[in-house]
Structure 1
Amino acid sequence: MDREEELRDSVDSGSDYVFHTGFRNDDGELEETSHSSMDTTRLQNAINEALKLREAGNQAFRAGDYKLSTQIYGDASYDIVHLKGLRHLGAIPSDDWKFVQTITEMQFKVYSNEAASWLKYESYIPEDGEVSRFQKALARTGRALEALEDHPTAWKPGDGEMAKLLYRRALACEGLDDYDAAFVEVEKAHQLAPKDVMICSLQSKIDKVRQ
């Protein structure tokens, strides 16, 4: 596996989450809300199922089954968006910041992984009305960034994770022959990971095309 494949094949697993039916008071103590234990269990199970889906997608990706991994990542992202919607509907305490942090991280990583999967899914043939795999990959990276914008202080990816996402955006733009946009994305990735060989390689490749 070369370095470019290594970056695209390095999918993120994320962390576990424990749901709390309460909030922190001024003394930092957890106070219970009116949510029942059944609600708590149901929400915890829903989060766990979304995490299991993401890991199943990771396993399919590592096995080289990119058709399956894109499908599973899509299912996982749908479930995560549904969980996020429950908070807006009041089914989850609005001040459960741990939940917000976890959902933000989950969205970012699932969308980033799904983008990587679309980039590798070379046998994909769009049906009538469907867009190319590069357009799908670019859209997924955009959604990952939107997840961060929704709650800017909730959770932030490390430089390596963000560089990986920007690199994937650059690859998607390159696949769409949008070399100016690819240049912008790979430059941002290079700022975060200036010594990364494959980012430098893509940067050089795009520079030559734009000359």
Structure 2
Amino acid sequence: MTPQPFRFTDLPSELRNRIYHLLLAALEEPEDFSTSPLVTVPKTITRAKHHVQTSILAVSRQIHAEAKDVLHRENKFVKFGATLAMPNVRVLKSLIKSKRVPVFTTDRTVMDRFNGHVISYALLERPTDLPKSSFYCLISHRHLDLFCRGLANAEIATPGFWTNITHTITLCAPYQISPSAATSHQGNLVAPFCRHLRGLHAVLVRGEIDHSLATIVAERLKALVSEDPQIILENLAALKEAGNDFFRQGDSRMCSESWARACMEIRRVRGGAMWKTLTSDPAFARDLTELYFILNLNLSQNTIKNMEGHSNHPDLVAELANSALIALENAFEGLSDCHSYWQPSDAQMAKLWYRKSKTHRLCSDYGDALQAITFAENLLPDDAMIQQERRTIKSRMP
């Protein structure tokens, strides 16, 4: 029997669209770091990996029309550019790396030649005494949500980050959209900004967008979120308890993630415009400050446990030690303008110095370890664990 030719157009439209997607719009997802013992930030920006096969566009008029629709609908691009003070550019890059946002290119020359984007998003900082630097990247619109989630942490990383920065969001129309669907399409394009960004000081929304929608988006991005102090504390307590449960189960990564999220949320509240209003309640300021201290102590304890489990990997131990010491420093410094509301007890401070000593000892920094355990001993001279730690350090000193 003579083989019959396969007719691609006889396939159901759902299957044809799936094939078009695989050929024209598929992106490889970033590497999964979920098995890492602790939450880590990559050293470089994640590169988008894609393999577009455009030859199917030349098969027939019908296939060309169908495939072109998928190509345009699913390959939406966003141009991003920022000209800021150099320290702020470093923060910005760190936020993008931390969310592992896939980036097609950071070459401005390449981006200037490309006109197939649906959004241009620009950050411009007003003149300062600090030297300026620029950063550009091209991302897929499907990752704009992830990108904006990263930017939402800017005020956590640097309180007041947005104060002198103007955000310009420009919608473009590289391909035709029917007038009846235009407003809905524009709303979908800007939705990630509205979901994640708040409290911006200066926002311009322009281009191929309905004027009333542009006004609504700009006002929403500038609006402050009114926060209930009781709900804040309840959410933080839930994250703390979730971390405790993971710690008891031996899930180091998830307990660190829960406690770190709680600490980030506290820093977000601390850097927000509602901070002065919230801390007008002494009970809230007291509870938040104590919780921040305890969370950072917990993070240090979990990291020390990981150090002990990786004693044969000195490079990893050194990296973990840095994380533990940062957590202890955060606990020590706390929320500086809330010290009048709450101070750690001698027992809590002894625990901090004990963990600092243990961190240094595991890195063979015996001089620093001995100094830290001496501070702990001065606070709790009869504590058995502190005395044992002193003996361990002494036995290993040259």
TM-score (norm 2): 0.39
Amino acid at match of 1:114: L
Regions of 4+ moved over 4 Å: 88-91, 122-126, 128-131
Change in Cα spacing, 1:95 to 1:179, as seen in structure 2 (3 Å) is same
> Within the alignment, does 1:117 sit opposite 2:306 as a pair?
no
The whole-number CA distance in structure 1 between the counterparts of 2:231 and 2:335 is 24
1:163-174 matched pairs, under 5 angstroms:
163-174=350-361
Deviation (angstroms), 1:167: 0.7
Q: Retained in 2: the 8 A contact 1:111–1:143?
A: yes
Task: Select between 151-160 and 53-62 the one with higher mean Cα deviation.
Answer: 151-160
Deviation (angstroms), 1:73: 0.8
> Within the alignment, does 1:141 sit opposite 2:356 as a pair?
no
Helix, strand or coil at the partner of 2:277: coil
Deviation (angstroms), 1:90: 4.9
The whole-number CA distance in structure 1 between the counterparts of 2:382 and 2:316 is 40
Greater helix share, structure number: 1
Structure 1 equivalent of residue 372 of structure 2: 185
Change in Cα spacing, 1:69 to 1:210, as seen in structure 2 (3 Å) is same
1:13-162 matched pairs, under 5 angstroms:
39=226, 42-86=228-272, 89-90=274-275, 92-122=277-307, 132-147=319-334, 149-162=336-349
The whole-number CA distance in structure 1 between the counterparts of 2:396 and 2:259 is 33
Deviation (angstroms), 1:189: 0.8
Change in Cα spacing, 1:138 to 1:201, as seen in structure 2 (3 Å) is same
Change in Cα spacing, 1:130 to 1:199, as seen in structure 2 (3 Å) is closer
Change in Cα spacing, 1:39 to 1:149, as seen in structure 2 (3 Å) is closer
Higher relative contact order (CA 8 A, sep 6+): 1
The whole-number CA distance in structure 2 between the counterparts of 1:131 and 1:142 is 16
Change in Cα spacing, 1:187 to 1:148, as seen in structure 2 (3 Å) is farther
- The correspondence for 2:362, drawn from 164, 171, 175, is 175
The whole-number CA distance in structure 2 between the counterparts of 1:74 and 1:205 is 30
Deviation (angstroms), 1:148: 5.9
Deviation (angstroms), 1:81: 1.2
Deviation (angstroms), 1:151: 3.3
Change in Cα spacing, 1:168 to 1:39, as seen in structure 2 (3 Å) is same
Helix, strand or coil at the partner of 1:155: coil
Deviation (angstroms), 1:71: 1.2
The whole-number CA distance in structure 2 between the counterparts of 1:149 and 1:43 is 19
The whole-number CA distance in structure 1 between the counterparts of 2:371 and 2:318 is 23
Q: Retained in 2: the 8 A contact 1:84–1:103?
A: no
Deviation (angstroms), 1:135: 1.6
Greater strand share, structure number: 2
Structure 2 equivalent of residue 202 of structure 1: 389
Which protein is bigger by CA-based radius of gyration? Answer: 2
The whole-number CA distance in structure 2 between the counterparts of 1:154 and 1:85 is 18
Change in Cα spacing, 1:130 to 1:196, as seen in structure 2 (3 Å) is closer
Deviation (angstroms), 1:136: 0.9
